[in-house]
Structure 1
């Protein structure tokens, strides 16, 4: 696997709207709108005014925008103070900052628990 410095990075700009699913093995930064499911192996960064209407699967995530759908994060999921999730969350670690909105259920699991 490529090191963090060598790993690909994809960005969807603020004025871009995607209608359809996104899949990939890269890190992904979204500043615009996505109407479809997002499934990536890397880290998802969702900027403050960004929106995803669909389910999300990712390695890790830092969210400041809005998601209307379920989120399945393999590692750490961080909801910054402007984040909003309407849907269920599955993550190994969940951090919710003051001011974030989360409406749904949460399932936390880790392979290190015995």
Structure 2
């Protein structure tokens, strides 16, 4: 029961196969970071974070800079723009000062959000993890131009 080797192997296999990065409380990081798999930040980060998977921003985290990811879940403080290919979820007591581009956006009561939210993006699924915010803005300008030319 408690010493079941098969159960132990399953747990070890799960951790070996999953990519999970953790920047704990007390960690200060500046620069560009590109991650594979799920990332959790509980420290201070200044720069650009990119992951094709999930970014979890803990309650004590402070991020200044741009974030690009698949799913962004935040309970911390972010000052910068967020681009997500799947969804952005802000949990109390999150603070977000910046713009959001994502097909899905949710926010709990008690969250402070100051910025613009664009949920009309359909091309983010095709973004490479190395895509920068400048590239996303270029894609948006191209999409807006295409829409205006179709209306004319």
TM-score, normalized by the shorter chain, greater than 0.5: yes
Query: What are the Cα deviations for residues 11-60 of structure 1, in whole angstroms up to 9, with x where unaligned?
Result: 00101000111112221000000011111111000000101100000100
Gaps of 5+ in 2: 1-13, 123-152
- Name 1:90's counterpart in structure 2: 101
The corresponding residue for 2:18 is 7
Moved over 2 A (4+): none
Q: Which has the higher strand share?
A: 1
1:109 counterpart residue number: 120
Aligned to 2:82: 71
Higher relative contact order (CA 8 A, sep 6+): 1
Larger radius of gyration: 2
User: CA offsets per residue over residues 59-108 of structure 1, 9 Å max, x none?
Assistant: 00110001110000111211001111101000111111000011010100
Q: For the residues of structure 1 that align with 2:24 and 2:105, how far apart are their CA atoms?
A: 26
Q: Does 2:113 align with 1:99?
A: no
Task: Please identify which structure carries the higher helix content.
Answer: 2
Aligned to 2:35: 24
CA root-mean-square deviation? 1.1
